[in-house]
Amino acid sequence: MRHPLIGNLGLLIYLIVWNVIIVAHFLVLYKYYELPLDTSITDALTFNVMLCGVGLSYWNVVKYTHVKEGDWQNLFSIHLPASLVAVGICMWPSSIILHLVYNQDVDYISFLEKAAVWRWVEGLLIIWVIILIYYLIKYYDDLQEKSKNEAQLKQLVKEAELDMLKAQINPHFIFNSLNSISSLTITNPENAQEMIVNLSQFLRSSLGKGKEELDTLKDELEHIMLYLDIEKVRFGDRLKVSQNIPDKCAMAKVPNLILQPLVENAIKYGIYETLRGVELNITANCKLENLEIRISNPYDPQGIPQKGAGIGLKNVESRMSILYGKGQWIRIERENGIFTVTLVIPQFENYI
Amino acid sequence: MIRTIIIDDEQPARDLIQAYLKDYADIQVIAECSNGFEGFKAIQEHQPDLIFLDIQMPKITGFEMIELLENPPAIIFSTAFDQYALQAFEKNACDYLLKPYNRKRMQEALEKVRAKLKIEAPQDLDPLLDSYTEAQSDNINRLVVKNGPNIKVIGLHDIKYIQADDDYMAIFTNDGKYLKQITMKRLEQQLPPARFVRAHRSYIVAVEGISKLEQLDKESYQIRLKTEEAIPVSKSGYQKLKGVLQF
């Protein structure tokens, strides 16, 4: 943080205030104590000009001491000695200078010594006011900084949420599904109606999720089956789904919508890279400490996808490591024309 | 009669086009295909006037398929494809139907096609394919070429180098040479720049296959591949190689 008084109007105001102090100091000496004019001027200038400089550089003490909000004890234990040192720095040289210049003037020298206490008091009061002003400026700046950071953070969180939503519902999927419905209203209205209901349920549960990070396997699978039912209308015989989930795994916890990208990936490679179609197989296996979910699909080992490896799997991997720390949560195997993704999800509650 | 083929991998999508087309007496659907391979064969066989074409399909995409056609028929894209590509369609000779669409939209598309078929000018798909290539933000992973009556999909990792050969590009792979009708410029744009370098006006080389750079005389070089072939290097090609190989 830069010096709050330097480089703007602050310095001008600061110097004007000091001028007032110096003039007041001079008037007190000249009118009230009836000291000679030159002595009054010199006395007022030496001490106050030094204090003015020290006051400016005192900012560094405020800047480099980090005191927790409301920790008054600590604040005093720093600034009391520091302000004493600051005033002392001005007292000593100014009194030496005045002694040297006016060593002939016995009256003045004796006044100087008697007035030392008041000079200390004056100096300390001024320094404390300066400290107070510094803290007010600093507090105000911090407040502004904080609200700026908060706004930025909110923006980031919102963007992340939006990205997540985008990732959840593929627009391609939605528009193709709507097109299938449009077609079924002509060829098979009964099925059109069923598909509308399926799609609505799927969208509703997609939108509802995302609040809670974890979901039960049962709910997650229901969601996935809705998705697959819709895809079956689009792809017909080319998509077959089988699943084998032991009942005891039903209440295991899984990150919500974690299966969606895996199933999408399986369909993409199964449907788009082969002409035969795809049989998707979902199985689960649960132990006390973790749940294993396997999704497999046949693929064409000679096939070359149009673009490189999907980001779907990578997203799942990074989401798992955000949730559970670094680890081997996802395994990929390609064997005998079968592509298998195994997801290991740690369990922390006794769910069986 | 406008002889028409529908190419879409989803049965309901094909049914819908069929249902809409029943309104038009001058349109005759002569085939339905569920992927780009079938579509390519059907087009070669029937030489239709019009095709309805989906983009994302099994094995090869709609775009990869039309790249292979020598005399492409009129095309109406029927797709839920991402928005960005649509600008490409708008500027070019084809029309597109964005799924889902209604009868009115279909009628508009057909009117455009009828107008175009009257002119009987040969279709120039180059601008469309160029803008599509431009719109593809990710680089591709494969090239699709004709191999006699069949289609061959070449993985980029199999390509050694590519040489301009009149109107064709000759793609030299580990298992032989394939010809593709495409401009050098578009091909260069499609290939990932970290893996392929335009070493010469008529040559693109796979970086992975480079064994060494041989100096012929003071300022001329040639590439020696790991498989021993020599590829000429131009001055600007030398600069590009410098950038990619970092020597």
CATH assignment of the domain containing B203: 2.40.50.1020
Spatial distance between the Cα atoms of A299 and A270, rounded to a whole number of angstroms = 6
A303/B12 Cβ within 8 A: no
Spatial distance between the Cα atoms of A323 and A330, rounded to a whole number of angstroms = 13
B12/A186 Cβ within 8 A: no
Q: Can you read off the two tokens belonging to residue A258?
A: 């974690």
More confident position, B63 or A200: A200
Tally A–B CB contacts below 8 A. Answer: 85
B98/A273 Cβ within 8 A: no
Mean pLDDT to the nearest integer, B115-136: 72
B174 and B126 both lie in a single domain: no
Indicate the pairing of strand A330-335 with strand A338-346. antiparallel
What pLDDT, on the 0 to 100 scale, is given for residue A331?
Answer: 92
As for how many domains chain B has, the answer is: 2
As for how many domains chain A has, the answer is: 2
Nearest residue, CB atoms, B19 vs list A175, A186, A305: A186
CATH assignment of the domain containing B63: 3.40.50.2300
Q: Which residue has the tokens 């895996």?
A: A262
Q: In the listed set B118, B135, B152, which residue is the last one of a domain according to the structure? A: B135
Chain A residues with CB inside 8 Å of B155's CB?
Answer: 304
CATH assignment of the domain containing A221: 3.30.565.10
Nearest residue, CB atoms, A183 vs list B16, B98, B138: B16
> By three-state DSSP, how is residue B206 classified?
strand
B171 and B225 both lie in a single domain: yes
What pLDDT, on the 0 to 100 scale, is given for residue B90?
Answer: 60
Decide if pLDDT at B30 tops 60: yes
Decide if pLDDT at B159 tops 90: yes
B98/A307 Cβ within 8 A: no
B13/A179 Cβ within 8 A: yes
**Helix A116-168 to helix A37-57 angle, to the nearest 10 degrees?**
30
Largest CA distance in chain A: 119
More confident position, A58 or B85: A58
Q: Can you read off the two tokens belonging to residue B72?
A: 């492409």
Chain A residues with CB inside 8 Å of B16's CB?
Answer: 179, 182-183, 186
A129 and A96 both lie in a single domain: yes
A235/B10 Cβ within 8 A: yes
What pLDDT, on the 0 to 100 scale, is given for residue A138?
Answer: 84
Q: In the listed set B72, B105, B135, which residue is the last one of a domain according to the structure? A: B135
Q: In the listed set A158, A180, A196, which residue is the last one of a domain according to the structure? A: A158
Per the CB < 8 A criterion, the answer to whether B178 and B171 are in contact is yes
Mean pLDDT to the nearest integer, B79-99: 70
Q: pLDDT below 50 — which residues of chain A?
A: none
What pLDDT, on the 0 to 100 scale, is given for residue B91?
Answer: 55
Indicate the pairing of strand A253-255 with strand A214-216. antiparallel
B65 and B104 both lie in a single domain: yes
Decide if pLDDT at B247 tops 90: no
Q: Can you read off the two tokens belonging to residue B140?
A: 């591709």
- Work out the minimum CA distance from A183 to partner chain B, whole angstroms: 5
Return the ∠ at Cα A300 (arms to A299 and A302), rounded to 5°. Answer: 150
Give Cα B52 to chain centroid, integer Å.
Answer: 17
Q: Can you read off the two tokens belonging to residue B129?
A: 């394919």
Per the CB < 8 A criterion, the answer to whether B143 and B156 are in contact is yes
What pLDDT, on the 0 to 100 scale, is given for residue B92?
Answer: 59
Chain B residues with CB inside 8 Å of A187's CB?
Answer: 12, 15, 19
Complex prediction ipTM = 0.83
Residues of the domain holding A229: 171-346
B155/A176 Cβ within 8 A: no
Q: Can you read off the two tokens belonging to residue B161?
A: 């180098």
Residues of A (136-175) whose Cβ lies below 8 Å from B: 171-172, 175
Mean pLDDT to the nearest integer, B3-25: 96
Residue A72, C-beta contacts closer than 8 angstroms, at least 6 positions apart: none
Provide the residue count of chain B: 247
Mean pLDDT to the nearest integer, B95-117: 90
Half-sphere exposure of B14 (CA within 13 A, CB side): 21
Chain B residue with CA closest to A308: the answer is B141
B158 and B116 both lie in a single domain: no
Per the CB < 8 A criterion, the answer to whether B231 and B237 are in contact is no
Spatial distance between the Cα atoms of B81 and A233, rounded to a whole number of angstroms = 19
- Give the mutation candidate from A272, A306, A307, A314 for the B interface (greatest B CB count, under 10 A): A306
B56/A272 Cβ within 8 A: yes
Query: Which amino acid is located at A25 in the chain?
Result: H
Nearest residue, CB atoms, A306 vs list B19, B81, B140: B140
B79 strand-pairing partners: B98
Indicate the pairing of strand B159-165 with strand B2-7. unpaired
B122 and B200 both lie in a single domain: no
B214 and B156 both lie in a single domain: yes
What pLDDT, on the 0 to 100 scale, is given for residue B233?
Answer: 94
A138 and A229 both lie in a single domain: no
B58/A272 Cβ within 8 A: yes
Chain B residues with CB inside 8 Å of A310's CB?
Answer: none
What pLDDT, on the 0 to 100 scale, is given for residue A320?
Answer: 82
What pLDDT, on the 0 to 100 scale, is given for residue A1?
Answer: 66
What pLDDT, on the 0 to 100 scale, is given for residue B116?
Answer: 82
Q: Which residue has the tokens 């689960």?
A: A284
A233/B12 Cβ within 8 A: yes
Residue A302, C-beta contacts closer than 8 angstroms, at least 6 positions apart: none
B11 and B52 both lie in a single domain: yes
What pLDDT, on the 0 to 100 scale, is given for residue B15?
Answer: 96
Order the strands of the B210-217 sheet from edge to edge.
B210-217, B220-225, B230-233
What pLDDT, on the 0 to 100 scale, is given for residue A159?
Answer: 62
Indicate the pairing of strand B210-217 with strand B220-225. antiparallel
More confident position, B227 or B218: B227
Nearest residue, CB atoms, B100 vs list A179, A233, A238: A179
Mean pLDDT to the nearest integer, B119-136: 70
Q: What is the CA radius of gyration of chain A?
A: 39
Decide if pLDDT at B3 tops 90: yes
Residues of the domain holding B120: 2-135
- DSSP H stretches of helix in A66-216: 72-101, 106-114, 116-168, 171-187, 189-208
Spatial distance between the Cα atoms of A23 and A115, rounded to a whole number of angstroms = 18
| Residue range A2-60, pLDDT digits in tens | 787 777 788 888 889 999 999 998 898 888 888 888 888 888 888 888 888 888 888 88
What pLDDT, on the 0 to 100 scale, is given for residue A34?
Answer: 85
Per the CB < 8 A criterion, the answer to whether A192 and A185 are in contact is yes
